Amino acid sequence: MSEHQEDNTTAPEQHQQQQNEEDQLTLRALVSTREAGVIIGKGGKNVAELRDATGVKAGVSKVVQGVHDRVLTVSGTLEGVAMAYSLIARTMIDNPVAANTMDGNTSQDASDSAPNAAATNTVTTLRLLISHNLMGTVIGRQGAKIKHIQDNSGVRMTASKTLLPQSTERVVEVRGTVEAILQAISEIGACLIEDKDRAYGTILYNPTKVTTVNDRRSSFTRTGNGSDFNQTDFSTSASALSQPSRRTSYQPPPHSQQPPLNADVRTQQISIPSDMVGCIIGKGGSKISEIRRLSGSHISIAKTPHDDSGERMFTIQGTLESNERALYLLYGQLENEKERRLRGVLQQQQQQEQQQQQQDDVLLEEE
Give per-residue pLDDT as tens, 104-158.
333 333 334 444 444 457 999 999 999 888 888 898 888 899 999 999 999 999 9
User: CATH topology for 2-199?
Assistant: TATA-Binding Protein (3.30.310)
* Residue type at position 257: Q
User: CATH topology for 209-345?
Assistant: Ribosomal Protein S8; Chain: A, domain 1 (3.30.1370)
Residue-range domain boundaries for the chain: 2-199, 209-345
pTM (2 decimals)? 0.55
Q: Which of 34, 156, 157, 39 is nearest to 103 (CA)?
A: 34
CA dihedral over 322, 324, 325, 330, signed as positive or negative = positive
* Residue type at position 314: F
Tens digits of residue pLDDT in 209-228: 543 333 333 333 334 333 33
Query: Residues 337-357: what's their mean pLDDT?
Result: 81
CA distance 295 to 122: 55
Query: Residues 249-257: what's their mean pLDDT?
Result: 39
Let me know: does 205 contact 167? Beta carbons within 8 Å: yes
The 10 Å CB-count burial string (b at 16+, else e) for 139-159 is: beeeeebbeebbeebebebee
pLDDT for the residue 301: 92
CA dihedral over 316, 322, 324, 327, signed as positive or negative = negative
pLDDT for the residue 2: 44
Tens digits of residue pLDDT in 292-321: 999 999 999 998 887 666 778 899 999 988
2-199 matches 209-345 in fold:
no
pLDDT tier for residue 363 given thresholds of 50, 70 and 90: low
Among 144-148, 257-261, 285-289, whose mean pLDDT is lowest?
A: 257-261
Could you give the 3-state DSSP secondary structure of residue 105? coil
Q: Which of 276, 325, 273, 267 is nearest to 300 (CA)?
A: 267
**Within a 10 A sphere around the Cβ of 345, how many other Cβ atoms?**
18
Let me know: does 367 contact 359? Beta carbons within 8 Å: no
Measured CA distances, 211 to 145, 222, 231, 241 (Å): 40, 7, 9, 22
